[in-house]
Amino acid sequence: MTQPETWPRVAVIGAGAVGGYFGGIMARTGASVVMIGRPAFVEAVNAKGLFLDTAKFQEMVRVEASSELSAVRGADIVLFCVKTTDTAATARELATFLSPAAVVVSLQNGVDNVEQIRAASGIDPIGTVVYVGAAAPEPGRVRLLGRGDLVIGPETERTIRLAAQFVRCGVPCRVSHNIEGELWTKFVINCALNAASALGQAKYGRIAESADGRQLLRSIVEEMMAVATAANLTLPSMENSEAACAVVMSIATQMPEQLSSTGQDLKRGKRTEIDSLNGYVARRGAELGVPTPVNQALYTLVKLAEGQP
């Protein structure tokens, strides 16, 4: 008689809106989940559980929570969800606790996190494109605003097995042979909407309704597509700037109530991830000889707004 497959033990590092949602869904389905986050989050979750608020259900999910990275010991899957500003330092510390067979999955903004984690720690993580609109209105509560699926890659035996585990745990996931292009597709969306939403403190729907807002998105996208072309990247569903603009506008209209993560950070007086977003575009453009004045301006304005040098 075939033995039933055991549920994976999952650790979420940097449990906020994104990590809280995916970890919560996996726990709700049956996986053993420990979430590593800030003290206020840990206190709320340990006291009452994690509350998931979605269009299909509102439910309190029981998970473990800790503020110590050592709680990752014994995990089979590690969802690496820290801010990109903390990637290298967290990866170095994580390496001391990680089980040899554990799979680290980067669920972060930007396109160079896998390289940063590997360089800092020697860990071989899996690149992931995260499609989810989520917010954490208070510690221990996560609200789903849109989607909730993953793309991982490149296509190997390891990623195929991981995708199957995600699907079994309630998270839609597909494997791509072109993960770099997939990452850049999401990156174009992030860079187009994040800074504009942050600086205007505007939700995506308001940007989409504004003629000037739409023109700004177009300018950002055109620069990014020029950089992607110079880097010899193929972006799924974004064969040219027109197609890319259409995808960005589609996301903006699908998620009209979403304020970008950069906007949420500025509102709370926190450091943003702009260095890994429009700042990266400006740096990569300079390396490739592609002018990116709009992305450079947005990067500079966000840095000024957050008070960072």
Domain positions in the chain:
9-177, 180-306
pLDDT score, position 255: 85
pLDDT at residue 297 above 70? yes
pTM for the whole structure: 0.91
pLDDT band at 309 (very low <50, low <70, confident <90, very high): low
Residue 1 pLDDT > 60, yes or no?
no
Q: Angle at the Cα of 19 (from 28 to 13), degrees rounded to 5?
A: 115
Joined together, the tokens standing for residue 150 give 């993953």
Predicted confidence (pLDDT) per residue in 228-237, tens digit: 999 999 999 9
Cα–Cα distance between 209 and 207 in angstroms, integer? 5
DSSP-derived secondary structure for 45-58:
HHHH-EEEE-SS-E
Query: What mean pLDDT comes out for the span 133-153?
Result: 92
Output the 3-class SS for 206-242.
Answer: HHHHCHHHHHHHHHHHHHHHHHHHHCCCCCCCCCCHH
Just give the CATH number of 180-306.
1.10.1040.10
pLDDT value of residue 2: 40
Task: Given CATH 3.40.50.720, say whether it is the number of domain 9-177.
Answer: yes
Percent of the residues in the chain that have a pLDDT greater than 90, as a whole number: 89
Q: Of 93-97, 124-128, 256-260, give the lowest mean pLDDT range.
A: 256-260
* Pick from 165, 160, 170, 167: nearest CA to 8: 165
pLDDT category of residue 308 using cuts at 50, 70 and 90: low
Tell me what pLDDT residue 284 has: 98
pLDDT band at 257 (very low <50, low <70, confident <90, very high): confident
More confident residue, 85 or 5: 85
Q: What is the mean pLDDT of the chain?
A: 94
Q: What is the pLDDT of residue 4?
A: 47
Confidence grade of residue 163 (pLDDT, cut at 50, 70, 90)? very high
pLDDT (0 to 100) of residue 17: 92
For residues 24-32, average pLDDT: 96
Question: What does the DSSP 8-state code read for residue 7?
Answer: P
